[in-house]
Structure 1
Amino acid sequence: MPNSTKLEIIQHNQGRLIEVKMNFNSKNTYDLEGLQLILDTLHKIKSMESIRAMILSSNQESYFSNGLEPTLFLDATHKEVHQAVSLLMDASQAFYFFPYPTLSLIQGHCMAAGAVFAIFSDYRFMVDKAARIGFPEVAIGLNFPSFPAKVLSHIVGHNHARDLLYSGKLWKADQALASGLIDEIYSKDTIRTKALEFSTKLSNLPLGSARGIKKSLLDFHRHGIEQLIEWDTNALVETILSRDGQEGFRSILESRKPQF
């Protein structure tokens, strides 16, 4: 499979384990090209006969992903925003419903849409220092979609999910581990080795087990998803186009606090 300079594909364990390494920009923010690339890559990878497991990682030392690219939405039209949000929904769903076990290797900051991709993986390993994980959408006046909110609540419980989303707080690795938001903490020097060791074990599962268990774990979320995604898309588009949403994105680009 050909690699892109923005999304590197690495095969491990004779192709049974596929690593998708993000390299979009210094903060790994998602623009239209990046989201389409993720979506297309996931569709190609899941058809590979050898695959049994996948790692999502980053080529940037300080960031897993900082979420959506602010310039994508500032002063954009309704059509442009709807296109971008719909693509985000498609790419994140493709990752969540990927038919084999997945692990997010979080070696740097993991925010907003980047954190959504992280919680949509089956396992999350996080570096022990400097990195933060969270959902700061409220800080820039945006709605948080109901489907990832449902997944987040399933992982950490309603109260933790409530507090994370209403406060927009960013958690250190030890806080995330205590709540169950991540599974393991490792040092900067060992996290990649540990992630590869663990994922290699997953990739040695028989095909029927790898696919069957993943399906069993996800099927309860399949029902009613179309209605959830439709509402999520429209609500997020609405808040992005609102005065508060536009001020929020502008404040990011201008490195200041938003004025709501």
Structure 2
Amino acid sequence: MGPGMSAVIDTGRPAGVFTCLTTAVKDHIGYIRLQSGEQNAFNDRSLEEIIAAHDLMEKDPDVWGVIFTSANETVFSTGLDAGFMLSLAREQKLDMFRLLFAATRRIYAFAKPELVLLPGHAFAAGAVLAMAADWRFMAEGKGRMAFPEVMLGISMPEAMIRMIASQVGEHNMSALIQTGDMFKAEDCLRYGVVNELVPPAELQTHGEKFMRRLFLKPLAGIRAVKRNLRRENLKFFDNDPSLDAFVELMGENFEEALRAGVEGRRPKFQNP
């Protein structure tokens, strides 16, 4: 058990068969912890499990709120698994993006309050899923966040852009998603990507205290405010025409970015 990871009692409730994450419940807090290799990189199974885990937590009346985090002390998730993506045919790659879109929507539409604890890096799809929750606390130190879709030669769908803008403000969006740059924890706080920076050893206990304070308030009101805040953006998740742009953008630069990620080198892009 890593720094800041307090003991969580498994209630013994049926939790489905998860191989890429774990679920548990303690004191009305539901826990979803990613544990899929050193980087928690996403394949189809891990994204499906994230959706299923949120379904499980939403249906459980004993769960009043959720903490979504990682069992890895240095990484939340580095995003889609580049090697897995390279192995897929074009239509299968598109299916993966559709699944990522569905997982993002599932978290964004989650009825109960949800806090993401970031012990370390959150890149690409990992950063996007984190932004779908209500709050994000990040460990102080070397952790980074990035929205590098532009470095893959693709664009984040409009629904995701609107979702992130609603959290950080329109004025920060160009810096965050148009450059593909990586941001230190302090920059993430400055841009509003995370709500708090916490010493690593205190991350989970601090998150649990935050949730317990929420539980002292009328949860029906908290859920109603969440629904109202997200209602308009959810309409874009249900009908986002920009998803079709992936077909046009998934060209050689996208494949080169995936190969470079697998080979651990800088990509060599071809520009007009």
Deviations 1:136-181 (A, max 9, x none): 1222322222111112222222232112212111111111111211
Mapped to 2, the partners of 1:224 and 1:157 lie a distance apart of 18
TM-score (norm 1): 0.92
CA displacement at 1:185 relative to structure 2: 0.5
The separation in 2 between residues aligned to 1:96 and 1:163, in whole angstroms, is 23
Could you tell me how far 1:28 is from its partner in structure 2?
0.6
User: What secondary structure does 2:206 align onto?
Assistant: helix
Aligned to 2:214: 202
Tell me what 1:68 maps to: 80
Deviates more, 1:73-82 or 1:55-64: 73-82
Distance 1:109 1:191 in 2: 14
2:246 is aligned, of 224, 236, 241, to 236
**Which range moved further: 33-42 or 141-150?**
141-150
Secondary structure of 2:239's match? helix
Moved more, 48-57 or 210-219: 210-219
Code of the aligned partner of 1:8 = T
Which among 198, 214, 235 is matched to residue 226 of structure 2? 214
Letter in 1 for 2:74: S
Residue 53 of structure 2 corresponds to which residue in structure 1?
Answer: 41
Residue 184 (structure 1) shift = 0.5
Deviation at 1:198, TM superposition (A): 0.5
Is residue 2:131 matched to residue 1:119? Answer: yes
- Choose from 253, 256, 265 the match for 1:256: 265
Alignment of 1:17 onto 2:26: no
* C-alpha contact (below 8 Å) 2:111/2:223 kept by paired residues: yes
Match of 1:30 in 2: 42
| 1:159 aligned partner | 171
1:91 match: secondary structure = helix
One-letter amino acid of the counterpart of residue 253, structure 1: V
Structure 2 Cα separation of the partners of residues 204 and 52 of structure 1? 11
Aligned length: 255
Measured at CA, do residues 237 and 69 of structure 1 come closer, stay the same or move farther in structure 2, by a change above 3 Å? farther
Q: Secondary structure at the match of 1:223?
A: helix
CA-to-partner distance for each residue in 1:210-251, whole Å, 9 max, x for gaps?
4222212211223343221x422x2234433x1110001000
- 1:36 is displaced (CA, Å) by 0.8
Q: Structure 2, unaligned stretches of length 5 or more?
A: 1-13
> Any idea what the Cα deviations from partners look like across 1:55-95, whole Å, max 9, x if unmatched?
11001111011000112321532321122111111111001
**Separation in 2, partners of 1:248, 1:224:** 28
SS at match of 1:125: strand
Rounded to whole Å, the distance in 1 between the matches of 2:170 and 2:41 is: 28
Q: Mind listing any 5+ residue stretches in structure 1 that lack a counterpart? A: none
Shift in Å, 1:204: 4.2
For the residue of structure 1 that corresponds to 2:88, the secondary structure is coil
Question: Are 1:81 and 2:90 an aligned pair?
Answer: no
Cα pair 2:21 2:49 within 8 Å, conserved: yes
The CA RMSD over aligned residues, in Å, is 1.7
Assess, with a 3 A threshold, how the Cα gap between structure 1 residues 237 and 102 changes in structure 2: closer, same or farther. Answer: farther
The 5 Å alignment of 1:138-153 reads 138-153=150-165
| Amino acid across the alignment from 1:173 | A
Stretch deviating more after TM superposition (23-32 or 67-76): 67-76
Identity of aligned residues (%): 26
| Whole-Å separation in 2 of the counterparts to 1:75 and 1:30 | 14
Q: Normalized against structure 2, the TM-score is what?
A: 0.88
SS in 2 for 1:34: helix
Q: Which residue of 1 aligns with 2:18?
A: 4
CA distance in 2, matches of 1:17, 1:203: 10
Give the letter for the 1:236 counterpart. Answer: F
Amino acid at match of 2:56: K
Question: 2:235 is paired with a residue of what secondary structure?
Answer: coil
